[in-house]
Chains A and B, each alone.
Chain A
Amino acid sequence: MTATSPIPQQHIDCSCRLPLFALFGGAAVWLALSSVFGLVASLKFHAPAMFANCACLSYGRAFPASQLLLVYGFCIPAGLGVGLWLLARLGRVELAKPFLITLGAKLWHLGVLTGFIAILAGENTGHEWLEMPRYASVILFLGFLLMAVWAFVTHTRRSEPALYPSQWFILAALFWFPWIFSSATLLLQCFPVRGMTQAAVAWWFAGNLLNVWLPLVGLAATFYFLPKLAERPLQSHYLALFVFLTLIVAGTSTGIPAGAALPAWMPALSGGAKLLMLVPALALAAVVVLTLRGSTAPCGGGPLCFTKFGAWSLVIATVLLALTACPAISRVTDFTWFSHGRNALVLYGFFAMTMFAAMYFILPRLAGEGSVCPHRVRAQFWLSMLGTLLFAFSLVIGGVLQGLKLVNPAIPFLDVAKSSLMPFRISTLGEALLLVGNLLFLFNVGFALATYYRARCRRVFTDATATLEPAGVKS
């Protein structure tokens, strides 16, 4: 092999194996655990006395724990794993220092475990989406840096100089997360700012994570896998760039709710930014429609189905966000279950589904053909899709109904609370379906990893126990 010849794809995939197994395996475990705690928290609405004697299973601990495991345990490691693979594959270069990236992944999972135990023990900081205590945040930050630095080095060593749209998204995400996470941790936990400024910082961070970071990483995967699986070229390079620019410009200031008790310019600026989010949403819809036009690739519950469902979920979730820019609407939806349902649509409907697609595409390439069973993938698609739809839309619709009753002073508060039980029943059903889907996902990932290691062990065993041929020494 000469220096100028391209590196075989096989070597690139093999260089990704160790870090990606660490990231995906951990992510699958955290996701299943997150669903368990999410279901416990959801069941509390129907049976408040359940587990009443166990403090660590109370709503105030189970719900933040499930959020932490979903966002930090599943979304970020899964996104980083897919991002690393895309950077290596698109740059046509082997991953730099796979061992250090694996170390970073282990450190990240340790941080998640620390935060998880701390929250169950009652060490909640009280800031939504940043519930883990300071020591867990530091471990998470170091783990992320270790992975992001070598991801960036991989990118600088690329042998393919031309950039594909997915690479911009991932590179921006590599820098975006340390920025928002360190700012929020410093301002909330190390040198806390005073009073309502804390709420503004926490909302800014959550808005950036939900409306910028997750879409950046998820869309990187969408813009790679959608054309790849549909066997059509991406329509188009410039439209993807347009999505990228409008998303980061508008998305970064969408976090403050309209009814926040902050100086009027903050919610007003956020309102304008939410309105502008219609632009990336419609541009994304245009990319999906134009790219899929004339595609004959079968969907069949495989990765293409996941990707399409994910992209449309993001479009709908972003349109819902843009609607709340209208004061007449945000007056009803603010501080109801609406935003929780919308978050679920972004986290499960868009991000998790897109990541499932990417992982089901990548795993057979790392763990060997036949390590992922298409039937189980299809079963998981239906479970996750139905679960997400029931979970997210029951809360979105329930939130609107709840808000309409809350703004009517003639209806007592207790009646409003009681009437939101029906949407909760449906959302609990959705969470139960998601739990089954996520357990199936854990099984699929575990099966793929087991297939690989079994094959490897078998090889070592065969080599070790092979009957030795006579060495051809003539007697």
Chain B
Amino acid sequence: MNAEPKTCSATTEADPVSETTTVPMWLITLALVLLFLGAWVFDLRGGWFEPKVYGPYTSVADAGRFQPPPPDGPDVKRGKVLFEQNCALCHGNDGMGKPNQAPPLAGSEWVLATGVNRLIRIPLVGLNGPIKVNGQDWNLQMAAMGAQYSDDQLSDLLSYIRSAWGNKASPVTPEQVKKVRDDLKGRSQAYTVDELMKLPE
């Protein structure tokens, strides 16, 4: 009745059977001990699912302890980064300025002034019209390039330009920036040199 060739074994084989002996106690104990150890290892090294913690650190506080401490006062390194991203296109990485774009900052009497009241206003609202820098006349427009920055960032940036390229002037504190920003009372019109000169240094 079966058309297939007689190749499939005609004798019926028994399938293996399984005993119903219980799992040995030592295995269950071992499983529990290893589960405990595994949980312990996770507790020690896992940082409890905190996505900011990477090995070999085990918690945010642990990783934080190995970060360099923030400098006292303004951070000129951060200021350098901000300067190079935002100002260096016109003023140059070397602070020497570029013809028909922006006057130099290195050695500039505006940057190195003892009081920073006038300096802080320039990035906050901009500066238009003729200006004399290092004995040379310039007549350009600068937009409010620094208005986007916080008091901390602007103080870092200004402290950088007052200390880079041979400049040696005191750093600008965030409090000074805040005081000037409050004094501007939302002014957005750019200053002229005449206006700046009327203000105290």
Contacts and interface: CB of A to CB of B under 8 A. Distances in A.
Interface of A: 8-11, 13-14, 17, 89-90, 164-165, 223-224, 227-228, 233-240, 242, 246, 258-259, 261-265, 267-269, 271-273, 275-276, 278-279, 282-283, 286, 290, 325, 327, 364-369, 371, 452, 455-456, 459
B69 interface: no
Interface in B106-141: none
B9 interface: yes
B42 A272 contact: yes
B13 A279 contact: no
A276 B12 contact: no
Nearest to A230: B16
A380 B35 CA distance: 41
Contacts of B15: 89-90, 164, 224, 228
A269 B7 contact: no
Given A14-B8, A240-B18, A278 B30 contact: yes
Interface of B: 2, 4-5, 7-10, 12-13, 15-24, 27, 30-31, 34-35, 37-39, 41-42, 44-55, 57-58
Contacts of A367: 7
Contacts of A8: 10, 12
Of A9, A224, A264, chain B has the most CB atoms within 10 Å of the CB of A264
A264 B47 contact: yes
B42 A278 contact: no
Nearest to A271: B41
Given A238-B21, A238-B22, A264-B58, A286 B27 contact: yes
Nearest to A327: B45
Given A90-B15, A235-B21, A265 B47 contact: yes
17 contacts: A9-B8, A9-B13, A14-B2, A236-B21, A236-B23, A238-B22, A239-B21, A239-B24, A263-B51, A264-B54, A264-B58, A269-B42, A271-B41, A272-B42, A275-B41, A276-B31, A369-B7
Given A9-B8, A233-B17, 15 more contacts: A89-B15, A224-B15, A233-B19, A234-B17, A235-B21, A239-B24, A263-B47, A263-B53, A263-B54, A264-B50, A268-B42, A272-B41, A282-B30, A367-B7, A452-B7
B39 to A, nearest CB: 7
A265 B50 contact: yes
Contacts of B53: 263-265
B4 A234 contact: no
B54 A261 contact: yes
A318 to B, nearest CB: 13
Contacts of B19: 233-237
A263 B50 contact: yes
B17 A13 contact: no
Contact of B20 (A89, A237, A265): A237
Contacts of A364: 9
Contacts of A17: 8
B20 A238 contact: yes
A375 B19 CA distance: 34
Contacts, number: 154
A432 B50 CA distance: 48
A1 to B, nearest CB: 10
Contact of B41 (A238, A242, A325, A455): A325
Contact of B18 (A237, A264, A273, A369): A237
Nearest to B58: A264
A164 B18 contact: yes
Max chain B Cβ within 10 angstroms of own Cβ: one of A265, A290, A455:
A265
A119 B30 CA distance: 45
A13 B15 CA distance: 14
Contacts of A366: 7-8
B53 to A, nearest CB: 5
A98 to B, nearest CB: 13
B38 A265 contact: no
A9 B27 CA distance: 38
Given A165-B18, A233-B19, A282-B30, A264 B45 contact: yes
Nearest to A457: B5
A366 B55 CA distance: 55
Contacts of A234: 16-19
Contacts of A233: 16-19
Nearest to A260: B55
The 6 closest A-B pairs by CB, nearest first: A272-B38, A368-B7, A268-B46, A227-B16, A236-B21, A234-B18
Given A264-B58, A265-B46, A286-B24, A10 B31 contact: no
Nearest to B31: A279
A236 B35 CA distance: 23
Contacts of A259: 55
A273 B35 CA distance: 9
Contacts of B46: 264-265, 268-269
Nearest to A241: B23
A262 B53 CA distance: 9
Contacts of A246: 31
Nearest to A231: B16
Nearest to B56: A264
B65 to A, nearest CB: 15
A276 B54 contact: no
A238 B34 contact: no
A198 B10 CA distance: 53
A286 B23 CA distance: 10
Contacts of B13: 9
Nearest to B20: A237
A90 B65 CA distance: 61
A268 B18 contact: no
Contacts of A13: 8-9
Nearest to A283: B27
Contacts of A237: 18-21
Contacts of A269: 42, 46
Contacts of A371: 7
Contacts of A224: 15-16
Contacts of A271: 38, 41-42, 45
A276 B35 contact: yes
B23 A365 contact: no
A459 B21 contact: no
